[in-house]
Amino acid sequence: MQGYNLRRYYDKQPDITKEKMEVNKSIFRENDIRGTYPEQLNEFTIGEIGKAIAIKCKKENIDSISVGRDGRLSGESLLDAFCESLVNSGINVTNIGMVTSPMLYFEAKINDTKSGIIITGSHNPKNHNGLKMVINDKPVSGIEVLSLIEDIKDEIVKKGTLQTKDIKEEYLNEVTESVSISNPSNYKVVIDSGNGAAGCIAPELFKRVGCEVIELFSEVDGNFPNHHPDPSKLENLQDLIESVLNNNADLGLAFDGDGDRVGLITNTGENIFPDKYMMMLSESILSKESGAIVFDVKCSNHLDELIVRNNGMPVMAPTGHFHIKKTIKENNALLGGEMSGHIFFNDKWYGFDDGPYSGARIIEALSEYPDGKSISDIMNTYPKSFSTPELNIDVTDENKFQIIKDFIDQNNLEGEENTIDGLRVNYVNGWGLIRASNTSPKLVLRFEGNSIEDMHYIQNEFLSELARISPDIVINLT
C-alpha cells in the first residue's frame, strides 16, 4: 500500500482547503460512523478520525491495530488515508485489505491487542461509507470518537509501522474446524453475495464445509449492478428465490454489503425472518448447554417463549450490533441476534456478527434433525406469526429522537410499555414497536399479532397516535 497524500484530495476539490474543512458531527452514530462520500466522509475527515482513534488506543495502552475495508468504490482511497493518519499518530498498523466485517472482527480477536477497524458502508447506498470499530476487545461507538476529536493536538510523535496481512486461510480454517455438518454433501445451497465483500469469502467457505454451492453475484463490485446488498428487503431476494426453486436447492443464503448479516430462503422459496430462524439456532445450542440468548426489541415474543421452554434465559436488548455485543458480554450469552439479520455465536465461536458463518451454522442445525427434514418443514413447526417486516418512516437525523421522546411521553396506548429502545408495547394479543434508527434518518416500526386482524389493529393504534402527536410527519411506510 502506498501512503495517501492529502494533497491529492485537495487537488480534486479546488474550492476546499484544509482550513475550510470541518468534521461533520452527524456521521458519528451510536453504533458506528457513517456518511456520504465525499461530502460528509472523505480523506480529510477519516484522517481526523484516525487521530482520534490513536488517542483512544493510547488511553487503552494499545500500540497496534488491524484495519481493512469492504468493496465500496471509495474504500481503497479512504483506507490509504486512514492508515497514513494512524501511522503518523504513532500506531502500528496491519492492513488486511478488502475483507468482510466478520473477517476484520476475527483478526481483532486473534491479534495481540484485540483491536481492529473496518471501513464499510454496510447495506447503505453505494455513495456511503463508514467505520466499525473494536478497541481492546470492546466495540467503540461513533459518539465516543466524536468526543475524542476535540482532544486532537498537532504534535510530533514517533511514527508507527505499516504491514500487510492476508487472513483468508486462517479464517477459513477456523470456520471449518468450528462447524460440524452431518453429511454436508447432502446440502445444495445458493449463495447470493450481492456483489458485496462476502463474495471474497462466502462461496469458498461453503465449499470448504462440504456443501454443493451455487453462486450468485460473487464478483465484488461497489456499483452493486444486480441488486442492493440488503437481505432485509424482499425486493433484493428475488434472484435468490428464483435460483433456489430452479435448482431444487435445500436453502438460499443472502449477505449484506460487508457480510455481517444473513438472510434465509427455504427450499420452497419462502423468506424467513431472523427471529424465526433464531428459534432453530436456539434449540440447537440449548440442546447442548444452558445459558442466555440475546435478541433485540424487534424480535417476536415467540422467540422469548421458545428460549424459556428450552431452559434458556431470554435477554432483550436495544437494536444495534454495539448493544447486542455489549449485552452478550454482560450475560456471557451463547447466542445473540437481531431482526436485521446480525447473528452472534458465542458458544464455540467468538461472539461477533458473521453472515457466512451464521449461514453455515444454520445448515449445521438443519443437519441435526433426523429423517432429512427440510428447512421448510422445520420452520413450519414453530408458532405462526402474523407480523410485519421492519417498516420505515422517513424523518431527519435531527428530529428522529425527539419524535420518539414525544411519542413515549404523550401516547395513550394501553398495554405494558418497554422503553429499552424506543417504545415497545405488549398487548394480550400481540405487540408494537416504534424506535429511531441508529444508522439512518428514519423511524423504525414493527407489529405482531395473534391474528392478522390483531396485527393490523395494533399497527393502526400506533400510527393514529403518531399522527396525533407529530402531525407534521408524512406517514408513508416503506
Active site residues: 122
Question: Helix (H) and strand (E) counts for the chain?
Answer: 15, 22
Amino acid letter for position 99: V
Residue carrying C-alpha cell 492529502: 6
Q: Please work out, in degrees rounded to the nearest 5, the angle formed at the alpha carbon of residue 438 by the alpha carbons of 437 and 439.
A: 95
CB 200 within 8 A of CB 259: no
Residue carrying C-alpha cell 427450499: 267
DSSP state of 424: E
Q: In angstroms, how far is the first alpha carbon of the chain from the final one?
A: 42
Q: Which three cell numbers stand for residue 395?
A: 424523518
C-alpha torsion 152→325→137→44, nearest 10: -30
> What is the Rg, in whole angstroms, of the alpha carbon atoms belonging to the chain?
22
User: Buried b vs exposed e over 170-204: b needs ≥16 C-beta within 10 Å?
Assistant: ebbebbeebbebeebeebbbbbbbbbbbbbbbbbb
**Cα–Cα distance measured from residue 166 to residue 337, given in angstroms and rounded to the nearest whole number:** 29
* CB proximity list for 250: less than 8 A, separation 6 or greater: 186, 187, 188, 189, 267, 366, 374, 375
> For the chain, percent helix, then strand, then coil, each to nearest 5?
40, 20, 40
**Cα–Cα distance measured from residue 265 to residue 281, given in angstroms and rounded to the nearest whole number:** 15
